[in-house]
Structure 1
């Protein structure tokens, strides 16, 4: 489904648990973020969970937006200049997505107010030293990563691993930064079924059917997670 101005206008808005005005665009099979100028920057929070978004980008400037929920999508790339369009973002939930390499997280460094970040169930978090990399590479404002408070001891250990004594990136840090991203180009538009053989398409359909069977359970899990995030926001 396309994210149109009509869909935005007809979607529910409510005051959430932390007293934010939240626009709910979840579970609409949205594939591309677009037309968000139609929100008129009236929302503190935006819920885009349970869609089919592959690239996190294409936002207009939303000076008011502080919380962005994108759990259970297919996000494998983040637009390089995303932070300049969301200058006040402090909570970003990317649980259950497809970010694969530590270098794919580089655009998130530009968020100067980011406090809460979830990358749970992304392949990137299975990389060696992934959590410490995020602690070192992200803004110093980051206080909660994957629902665990960032400890000062982690900041010290991350600096030891990824910085030399004179403050330059260590060999380990440079080896990570020099990895070529495997994420799809943000300049390309994905067409459903592109590059797949008929057999692959059938297998994908079977996977989607299996996903549909567990969708209610997954939604409940994400709702609990969002409630946990909002509880942390209220605490912070």
Structure 2
């Protein structure tokens, strides 16, 4: 299904369990991210789970967006300049996708505020030292990876593996970076927020299947919330 302004305006928007304003575009067989300027950047969270998206990209500037849920898609690549359009992204859930190589995650290192990342059930997590690479190479703000708190010991081990004493990359790091990325070139965005589209608040009757999938997402968010609480408690103790 094409992600149109009509689909966006007819999809439910609500305050979710973590008190964010969320737009739910899950389970629509969406293949390409487009036309999200029609949201007018009014949402803290965007739920695109259970679709057929292959490339994470083609966003307009959404400065308000903090949480992006993309579990159960077919994402294999991340647009190189994604961070320019989602400058305040805090949580990115890519569970059950097709990211295959560590180098395909390179665009994520440009996010200044990314604290929570899930790559569960992607081929990339089976790569040797995948977790340590993500801790070393991706956003320095990363605090929870695959629903496990990033520890100081892991940061130290990651630095030992991938960085020499004088700050240069090790041979292992260079070998990972030498793999050709499948990330696409930047693409033009279809809309920017505020282009004059009137979005009416809408609601639709939920089927049992939709309710079950919403419950699955709610459990995922609860898990994220619990992990963040553990991190905050640990920081207070320290």
User: TM-score normalised to the size of structure 2?
Assistant: 0.83
Alpha-carbon shift at residue 161 of structure 1 (Å): 0.1
Distance in 2 (CA, whole Å) between partners of 1:139 and 1:48 is 23
* Aligned match of 1:117: 117
Q: Which runs of 5+ in 1 are unaligned?
A: 189-213
TM-align CA RMSD: 2.2
Write out aligned runs for 1:86-97 (5 A). Answer: 86-97=86-97
**8 Å contact kept, 2:61–2:86:** yes
Q: Which has the higher contact order (CA 8 A, sep 6+)?
A: 2
SS of 2:156's equivalent?
A: helix
Q: Which runs of 5+ in 2 are unaligned?
A: 188-208, 233-238
Matched, 1:50 2:50: yes
Change (3 A) 1:219 1:136: same
Alpha-carbon shift at residue 42 of structure 1 (Å): 0.1
Instruction: Give the aligned length.
Output: 210
Write out aligned runs for 1:168-187 (5 A). Answer: 168-181=168-181, 183=182, 185=184
Matched, 1:26 2:17: no
The ranges of structure 1 where at least 4 consecutive aligned residues each deviate by more than 4 angstroms after the TM superposition are: 184-188, 214-223, 233-236
**8 Å contact kept, 1:17–1:230:** no
Distance in 1 (CA, whole Å) between partners of 2:28 and 2:211 is 14
**8 Å contact kept, 2:80–2:186:** no
Alpha-carbon shift at residue 168 of structure 1 (Å): 1.1
